[in-house]
Amino acid sequence: MGRVPVLGVDFLGDTMGSFSGFAIDRNSWRFNGTSYTGKLFCLPDRSYNSAPFFSNYTTRLFTFGLGLTPYRDAANLPASVAS
């Protein structure tokens, strides 16, 4: 699970909103013995919600650093995962 801050902004200062498409950059994926790292590409759901911007909106692609450490102790899963 991961979270993006609700006030997160892109390099133009625009809020990122929610996402509709995700893809892992398979060339960036690395295993370091206990965890994985890589890049995650995300597409925002849509453009601005006001009429003047519908046809004059630059599509954005966000890139996030991704880190994943698998939980390997199946006998002691946290309650939120075990249910």
Nearest to 12 by CA among 70, 81, 62: 62
Is 0.85 topped by the overall pTM? no
Using an 8 Å Cβ cutoff, are 16 and 62 in contact?
yes
For 21-80, how does the pLDDT look when each residue is reduced to its tens digit (9 = 90+)?
889 999 999 999 989 999 999 887 765 555 555 555 567 788 889 898 887 777 777 676
What pLDDT does residue 12 have? Answer: 74
- DSSP states of 8-76 as a string? -B-TTS-B---EEEEEEEEEEEEE-SS-EEEEEEEEES-S-SSGGGSSS-----EEEEEEE-----GGG
For 1-21, how does the pLDDT look when each residue is reduced to its tens digit (9 = 90+)?
667 777 777 777 777 767 778
Nearest to 25 by CA among 54, 65, 60: 65
